[in-house]
Amino acid sequence: MVKTKFPIPVAVVVLLLTGCSSNESSPNSTLDGSKNPDSSKTEISTYAGFDDCAAVLDWTKAEMLKRVGPYGLETYPYMYENWRSNGFEGDMAAPTEAPETDSSSGADFAPLPGTSTTNTQETNVDEGDIVETDGRFVYSIIDHRIRSVDLDNSELLSEIDLPQGDSQMVLSGNQLLVATMTWDSTADTIISNFDVSDGVLTLNRRDHLEGSLVSVRAVNGRVHVVMNSSFMHRVDFVSPRDGSEDSLDAAEKRNIEVVNALAVEDFVPRTFEEGPKGTWGTKSTAIGCTNLGHPSSFSGWGVTWVATIDLSSPAVAPIGTIGILAQSTSTYTSTASMYISTTRWDDSVYKDFVSTRQESPYTDIHAFSFSADASELTYVASGRVIGTLLNSYSMSEYDGALRVATTSFDYDFGGGQDNGVHILKVDGSKLNEIGAVNGMGRGETIQGVRFDGPRGYVVTFRQVDPLYVLDLSDPTSPELVGELKVPGYSTYLKPIDGDRVITVGMSGTETGQITGAQVAVFDVSDPSNPVQVATAEIAQWSEATSDPHAFLWWPETGQIVVPKELVCERFGGSGCESAVVLKLEGSTLTEQGRLFQWFPIRRAVIAQNQLVTVSAGGTMVNQLSDLSEITDIRFDIPGTDAEDNLP
For residue 19, the model assigns a pLDDT of: 36
Alpha-carbon distance 355 to 341, whole Å?
Answer: 23
Q: Provide the pLDDT for residue 95.
A: 40
Provide the domain count of the chain: 2
Helix (DSSP H) and strand (DSSP E) numbers for the chain: 4, 45
State CA 295 to chain mean position distance.
Answer: 22
Of 309, 326, 343, which residue constitutes the final position of a domain?
326
Of 284, 302, 326, the residue at which a domain comes to its end is: 326
Listing from the earlier edge strand, what are the strands of the sheet with 465-471? 446-452, 455-460, 12-17, 465-471, 479-486
Residue 637's pLDDT is what? 78
Per DSSP bridges, beta strands 137-142 and 29-30 are unpaired
Establish if 152 belongs to a structural domain. Answer: yes
Report how far residue 526's alpha carbon sits from residue 316's, in angstroms, rounded to the nearest whole number. 52
Q: What local confidence, expressed as pLDDT, does residue 88 receive?
A: 29
pLDDT at 43: 61
Report the run of H or E that residue 247 belongs to, with start and end: helix 245-260
The confidence score (pLDDT) of residue 11 equals: 47
Which residues of the chain carry a pLDDT beneath 70?
1-44, 74-109, 185-186, 278, 345-359, 410-415, 463-467, 469, 478, 569-575, 638-647
Q: Is residue 98 part of a domain?
A: yes
In degrees and rounded to multiples of 5, residue 43 shows phi and psi of -75, 145
Q: For residue 170, what are the CA distances in angstroms to 213, 246, 331?
A: 14, 56, 17
The predicted pLDDT at position 224 comes to 98
- Reduced to 3 states (helix: H, G, I; strand: E, B; else coil), residue 55 is helix
Query: How many Å is the maximal CA-CA distance in the chain?
Result: 78
Q: Is residue 404 part of a domain?
A: no
Q: Which of 625, 643, 628 is nearest to 596 (CA)?
A: 628
Domain assignment present for residue 259? The answer is yes
Confirm whether 68 is domain-assigned.
yes
Does an H or E element contain 13, and which? strand 12-17
- For the beta carbon of residue 6, count every other beta carbon within 10 angstroms: 10
Strands 319-324 and 303-310, by their bridges, are antiparallel
Please provide the size of the chain in residues: 647
Residue whose C-alpha is closest to residue 530's, from 12, 29, 9, 28: 12
Domain annotation covers residue 643: yes
Closest CA relative to residue 333, chosen from 370, 294, 295, 371: 370
In this prediction, residue 4 carries a pLDDT of 32
In whole angstroms, what is the distance from residue 378 CA to residue 352 CA?
40
Domain with 508 in it: 491-647
Among the candidates 257, 292, 326, a domain finishes at 326
Q: Decide if 173 contacts 109 (C-beta within 8 A).
A: yes
Rg (CA), the chain: 26
- Specify if 476 maps to a domain: no
Within-domain flag for 435? no
DSSP letter (8 states) at residue 38 = H
Distance in angstroms (rounded) separating the CA atoms of residues 314 and 459: 42
Q: Which segments within 26-73 are labelled E, that is strand?
A: 29-30, 47-49, 68-69, 72-73
